[in-house]
Amino acid sequence: MARRKFIAGNWKMNKTAAEGAALVKELKEKLGGCASGCCCSGPDVVVCPPFTTAPAVAAEAKGSCIQVGSQNIHWADNGAFTGELSGAMLKDIPVTYAIIGHSERRQYFGETDDTVNKRTKAALKAGLKPIVCIGELLAEREAGQTNSVCERQARAGLAGLTADDMTTVVVAYEPVWAIGTGKVASNEQAQEVHAFVRSILKDLFGAAVADATRILYGGSMNAANAAGLLAQPDIDGGLIGGASLKAADFAAIVAAAK
């Protein structure tokens, strides 16, 4: 079964509301309208701005093929969770996707496999589509633990989900050593892990779900290397950080996914 490609920009802690709206305006111009195939035959296109920037971005993106996501979501409906946002609040923005378990959240903010699982379930409950991130550290790769780390993170992050839930879940494989470093995984390195992750999805949810689930690559993907990565049979798109902050670069990656 052909999986529709999926290109998501993770803006991280960049762009004020005005800057974000301007970036989306430029992106719309570069991508063209529906007639150019952006929303018909092209990939899903999602941008994930900071929370305060997201309303302006959503307003600018309205009516276009660009969808908006958050960079996190809390698992509770409300309560004493300083600095966090619930699914209902995110739907107010409105966003349709939520990045969950990004390695920077794991590294700097105490995200664990367990909290990734709770956030993923909360997103599904709120009707948001989770982009669940997994990926090994450099030391883990060098110790030959890439598959075991990715397997643990995928099994724990997706624990308790049904095949039906999986119809809206996107998985992002992001080797931590490749994020923001300019050291992209080779096409073969990335394909190997993607195929392995798909085998885990098959074990968890069956062949049909494994075949249908989009698995994105993230880590120094850019306009120059995107086509090679996206040509791999198990790489269904990208989660792009740095190169998503420039409309021309991000549009070129979207074009490479067509």
Enumerate the active-site residues. 102, 174
Minimum CB separation of residue 184 from ligand PGA in Å reads 8
- Residue 241 interacts with ligand PGA (CB under 6 A): yes or no: yes
Among 174, 234, 236, 249, binds ligand PGA (CB under 6 A): 174
Q: Cis ω on the peptide bond leading into residue 55 (within 30° of 0)?
A: no
* Residue 235 within binding range of ligand PGA, rule CB under 6 A: no
Per the listing, tokens 């991000």 go with: 250
CA dihedral 25, 27, 29, 34 (to 10 degrees): -110
CB of 202 to ligand PGA, least distance (A): 25
- Beta carbon nearer to ligand PGA, 75 or 177: 177
Of positions 239, 247, 251, 256, contacts ligand PGA by CB under 6 A: 239
d(CA 1, CA 211): 7
* Residues 92-131 contacting ligand PGA, CB under 6 A: none
Compute the distance between CA of residue 134 and CA of residue 220 in angstroms, rounded to an integer: 15
CB closer to ligand PGA out of 124 and 133: 133
| Number of residues this chain uses to bind ligand PGA (CB under 6 A) | 13
C-beta of 90 vs 240, nearer to ligand PGA: 240
Q: How far is CA 195 from CA 191, 198, 239, in A?
A: 6, 5, 17
Task: Give the residue, chosen from 55, 69, 237, 242, that forms a contact with ligand PGA under the rule CB under 6 A.
Answer: 242
Residue 69 sits in the site that holds ligand PGA (CB under 6 A): no
Helix (H) or strand (E) holding 125: helix 113-126
Residue 9 CA to residue 189 CA, distance in Å, equals: 22
> Residue 9 Cβ, how far from ligand PGA at the closest point, in Å?
9
Pick between residue 42 and residue 219 the one whose CB is nearest to ligand PGA. 219
Pair 201, 128: CB distance under 8 Å: no
d(CA 101, CA 114): 10
Tell me the residue number closest to ligand PGA, measured at CB.
241
Query: What is 67-111 written as a DSSP string?
Result: EEEES---SSSSSS-TT---HHHHHHTT-SEEEES-HHHHHHS--
H/E element, 146: helix 146-157
- Among positions 128, 240, 256, 257, the unique one binding ligand PGA when judged by CB under 6 A: 240
Site string for ligand PGA, 175-214 (x = CB under 6 A): ----xx----------------------------------
Provide the binding-site residues for ligand PGA, judged by CB under 6 A: 10, 174, 179-180, 218-221, 239-243
